[in-house]
Amino acid sequence: MLTTIALLVLPNAKYEQSYREYIAELGDEERYPFPLDFDHTDFAELLAKKERFRNGIDLPDGFVASTTYWLVEGDEILGVANLRHQLNERIRHAGGHIGLGVRPAKRGCGLGNLLLKLTLDKAFDSGINPVHIHCHKHNAASARMIIANGGILESEIGDGGEVVQRYLINAL
Ligand SMILES: CC(C)(COP(=O)(O)OP(=O)(O)OC[C@H]1O[C@@H](n2cnc3c(N)ncnc32)[C@H](O)[C@@H]1OP(=O)(O)O)[C@@H](O)C(=O)NCCC(=O)NCCS
pLDDT in tens, 6-17: 999 999 999 999
pLDDT for position 7: 96
What is the band of 160 on the pLDDT scale with cuts at 50, 70, 90? confident
Q: CB-based contacts of 36: which residues, under 8 Å, 6+ apart? A: 22, 23, 26, 80, 101
Pick the CATH number of 7-128 from 3.90.226.10, 3.40.630.30, 3.10.450.50, 3.30.70.100: 3.40.630.30
Q: How far is the CA of 105 from the centre of ligand 1 (A)?
A: 12
Helices marked H in 9-163: 16-26, 43-54, 89-93, 111-125, 140-148
Query: pLDDT tens digits, residue range 21-47?
Result: 999 999 999 999 999 999 999 999 999
Residue 3: pLDDT over 80: no
57 ligand 1 Cβ < 6 A: no
Q: For residue 10, how far is the Cα from the chain centroid?
A: 13
Q: Cβ(94) to ligand 1 under 6 A?
A: no
Closest CA to 111 of 147, 85, 82, 77: 77
pLDDT per position as a tens digit, 99-140? 999 999 999 999 999 999 999 999 999 999 999 999 999 999
For atom 45 of ligand 1, the residue with the nearest CA is 101
pLDDT given for residue 85 in this prediction: 98
Measured in angstroms, how far is the CA atom of residue 45 from the centroid of ligand 1? Answer: 31
Q: Is the CB of 133 under 6 A from ligand 1?
A: no
Average pLDDT of the chain to the nearest whole number: 97
Q: What pLDDT is attached to residue 29? A: 97
pTM for the whole structure: 0.96
For ligand 1, atom 12: residue with the closest CA: 110
